[in-house]
Amino acid sequence: MTLPKNKPIVIGAGLAGVEAAWQLAERGIEVCLVEMKPVKFSPAHKSENFAELVCSNSLKALRTGSAAGMLKEEMKKLGSLTVECALMSAVPAGGALAVDRDRFSSLVTEKIKQNKNIEIVYGEVTEIPENDIVIIAAGPLVSENLAKEIEKICGGFLSFFDAAAPIVSGDSIDMENAFCQSRYDRGDESDYINCPMNKEEYELFYNELVNAERAELHTFEKKKNVYEGCMPIEIMASRGADTMRFGPLKPVGLRDPRTGHRPWAVLQLRKENLPGSAYNLVGFQTNLKFGEQKRVFSLIPALKNAEFLRYGVMHRNTFINSPGLLKSTYEMRERSGLFFAGQITGVEGYMESASSGILAGINAANKIQGKGEFVPSERTMIGALARYISNEEVENFQPMGANFGALPPLDEKVKDKKLRYELLAERGLKEYTREDE
Tens-digit pLDDT string for the chain (437 aa): 899 999 999 999 999 999 999 999 999 999 999 999 988 877 666 788 999 998 677 898 999 999 999 999 999 999 999 999 999 999 988 888 999 999 999 999 999 999 999 999 999 999 999 999 999 998 877 888 898 999 999 987 777 777 788 999 998 999 999 999 887 766 666 678 999 999 999 999 999 999 999 887 544 344 455 555 678 899 999 999 999 999 999 999 899 999 999 999 999 999 887 778 889 999 999 989 999 999 999 999 999 999 998 888 877 778 899 999 999 999 999 999 999 999 999 998 899 999 999 999 999 999 999 999 999 999 999 999 999 999 998 877 888 889 998 999 999 999 898 999 999 999 999 886 544 44
| pLDDT for the residue 389 | 95
Amino acid at 146: L
Q: Is 44:313 a contact under the CB 8 Å cutoff?
A: yes
| pLDDT for the residue 275 | 78
Alpha-carbon span 292 to 214, nearest angstrom? 8
Query: Is-above-0.85 flag for pTM?
Result: no
CA nearest 148: which of 130, 125, 131?
125
Q: Compute the CA torsion angle 294, 295, 296, 300 (nearest 10 deg).
A: 80
Question: Could you report how far apart the first and last alpha carbons of the chain are, in Å?
Answer: 35
Alpha-carbon span 338 to 334, nearest angstrom? 9
Q: Is 422:359 a contact under the CB 8 Å cutoff?
A: no
Alpha-carbon span 97 to 95, nearest angstrom? 7
Neighbours of 408 (CB within 10 A): 12
Go through the domains of the chain in sequence order and give each one's CATH number. Answer: 9-157+320-436 (3.50.50.60), 164-316 (2.40.30.260)
Q: Write a three-state SS string for the chain.
A: CCCCCCCCEEECCCHHHHHHHHHHHHCCCCEEEEECCCCCCCCCCCCCCCCCCCCCCEEEECCCCCHHHHHHHHHHHCCCHHHHHHHHCEECCCCEEEECHHHHHHHHHHHHHHCCCEEEEECCCCCCCCCCCEEECCCCCCCHHHHHHHHHHHCCCEEEEEEECCEEEHHHCCHHHCEECCHHHCCCCCCEEEEEECHHHHHHHHHHHHCCCECCCCHHHCCCCECHHHCCHHHHHCCCCCCHHHCCCCCCCCCECCCCECCCEEEEEEECCCCCCEEEECCCCCCECHHHHHHHHCCCHHHCCCCEEECCEEEEEEECCHHHCECCCCEECCCCCEEECCHHHCECCHHHHHHHHHHHHHHHHHHHCCCCCCCCCCCCHHHHHHHHHCCCCCCCCCCECCCHHHCCCCCCCCCCHHHHHHHHHHHHHHCCCHHHC
Q: Is 315:162 a contact under the CB 8 Å cutoff?
A: yes
Alpha-carbon span 33 to 131, nearest angstrom? 13
CA nearest 12: which of 139, 123, 131?
139
| pLDDT for the residue 164 | 81
Q: Compute the CA torsion angle 215, 314, 250, 169 (nearest 10 deg).
A: -80
Q: Are strands 192-197 and 265-271 parallel, antiparallel or unpaired?
A: antiparallel
Tell me how far apart the 2 most distant CA atoms of the chain are, in Å.
68
Q: Is 388:400 a contact under the CB 8 Å cutoff?
A: yes
Q: Is 130:43 a contact under the CB 8 Å cutoff?
A: no
| pLDDT for the residue 46 | 75
Q: Is 181:190 a contact under the CB 8 Å cutoff?
A: no
